[in-house]
Each structure stands twice: as structure tokens, then as C-alpha cells.
Amino acid sequence: MADTYDVVILGGGAAGYTAGIYAVRSGLRTVVVEQGMPGGQIATTDMVDNYPGIPHISGAELGQRFEEHAASLGVETVYAMVTAVGHSEQEFILETGPSGPIEGRALIIATGAVPREVGFEGERAFRGRGVSYCATCDGMFYRDKTVFVVGGGNAACEEAIYLSHIAREVIMVVRRDEFRAPKGIVDELNEVPNIKVRFNTSITEIRGERFIADITFRDNVTNEVVVEHFDEGTVGIFVFAGTLPVTDLVSGYVELGPDGGIVTDENMATGFPGLFAAGDVRSKRLRQVITAASDGAIAATSAYHYLRQ
């Protein structure tokens, strides 16, 4: 027979472990269910420089600290792959295959979002070593260097402008012959002197030893291919092709926003009783470790009040 918790938190990132800390401090028996490593997406970031009070820490170490802090207060962690989420009259049921079901009277979804990859060769191999998906997270590592921004939408333009204040040169790589972003942000971008744009262009491959050294570009009109060489450590590639909130396990219970994230109210409550969402899985504008932690605290507090009704 499955063990029933007061609160089950699906996802062990900043949102999940913050929710765990707040839930257990409210006297709720709490478990975090994580399929990978503590920290979630932040664990894949080489260095985190924008989490208050903890400068210069690796994403993996920050994630480990989240888990250790939560564990010290009594939050349990179960490492398992959840294959399905069900609901009975009294509780949510998480199926984990051979590990058996996990039940909870309230459920907080903190499964995060994954960056949408472009698919050029070497993209995954150089992630965290020259390829990034977050200018706010990693921009400072490219001060006075050259960065390429892949994408032509609103996020790509906004992040290019952000990076222009840090990098020596920002070169946008847009696969079409025009931006998809609104005219206002494009006009603003065009006024920035150190931003250049290459339309009808795609990156097809990157190579190097530890960091990027060679970038292969393709002209999408002529199919001409050009390889440009850089000293390793002097160039970065920021990919902004969107993110994909991980909602598949609860898509039947929640409303999804235009960005694919779960719609909640300000208390992180979904429209389904007892089901809350926190962090990057939510439909929201800013997906950062600090905003995920804030969501987690609110979600746990809301779950407490729900259970005490």
C-alpha cells in the first residue's frame, strides 16, 4: 500500500525544494520527487552569479545545497521517474513504476521548463561551455567578448539588447529574412551600435576543445557554408528559440497559457483543487532561479491553507 504524504512536490529544483522547506516548516509531511539531480535546470549551469548572498557558485553545487537544506528540516527526497499522475477522491497518486506509487493530499508541480534546442551539431556538447540559453544567468561571463544570439523573436531581441551592455559585440543569427519580434523592440535593437544582424543565416556546427573555437554558418538562400575561427573562451552562443514547460504529466488537470506553461492565480493554485504549480513550469514572464524559489514558497503556503480548510 502506498505511503500518503500531506504534500508531494514533483521536481527538485529551486521551486521544488523551496516549497519543501516551507511545507515542512508548516508541519506538513513532505516529499520531493526528482528524476535527475537536485537543482533541476540550474544544475546544468556552469556558474551562478545572480542568486542573492551566494556569489560565484556552480549550478550543481547550488542544487545540492537546496537538497541539503531541505533534508536538514525533514523534507524527504525520492529519486524516481514518474510515469503518470492520477487522482482519487482524497489524494493524488504518482506512479513510479517499480518504485511503487506515491500519494499526497496536495500536489505541487515544479517540473520546470527545458530550453528549446536549435539542433546544430555540437549544441548539447558545448552547453555550459560556450552555449547558453539564459543571458541573465550567463551574460556576465562574456564581458567584452563576442556573442552570437540565435533567434529572431521577442526574447532573442530583448536578450541581445541586454547582452549589448556586457559584450563587446553582439551578432544576431536569424534564419529568416526578418525578425518575428514586434516593431517596437526591433526599432530599439536597431539603435544599439554594437548589435549586428545576419539574416537568412543558421549555425550548423560548432567545434573546439574545451570551449568553442570554430562556428559553421550557412546562408539559407544560397546554401553557402562559411567556417569562422575564434580563440577558445572568447566567444559565446546564446540560443533563444523558446522554452518548453514540462507539463505532460498534468496536462489533463490544468489550463495552459500561450507559452505552454501552467496557468495559476497569484497563490500558485491551478483550477484543480489541491493542485499547485511553481517555478518555470508556470505561465510567466521571467524564469529565473530566484523567481522559482519565490513561487515555491507561495505554493507551499497555499497548500498548507488548502489542507487546513
Between CA 282 and CA 254 the distance in angstroms is: 11
Which helix H or strand E contains 16, and what residues bound it?
helix 14-25
Which helix H or strand E contains 172, and what residues bound it?
strand 169-173
Between CA 172 and CA 23 the distance in angstroms is: 44
Selecting among 137, 157, 280, 295, the annotated active-site residue is 137
138 is catalytic: yes
Between CA 262 and CA 276 the distance in angstroms is: 9
Residue/partner pairs of 216-224 with CB below 8 Å, 24 or more apart: 217/173, 220/175, 220/176
Selecting among 3, 49, 138, 219, the annotated active-site residue is 138
157 is catalytic: no
Selecting among 3, 46, 49, 134, the annotated active-site residue is 134
Which helix H or strand E contains 62, and what residues bound it?
helix 59-73
Between CA 139 and CA 134 the distance in angstroms is: 8
**Residues belonging to the active site:** 134, 137-138
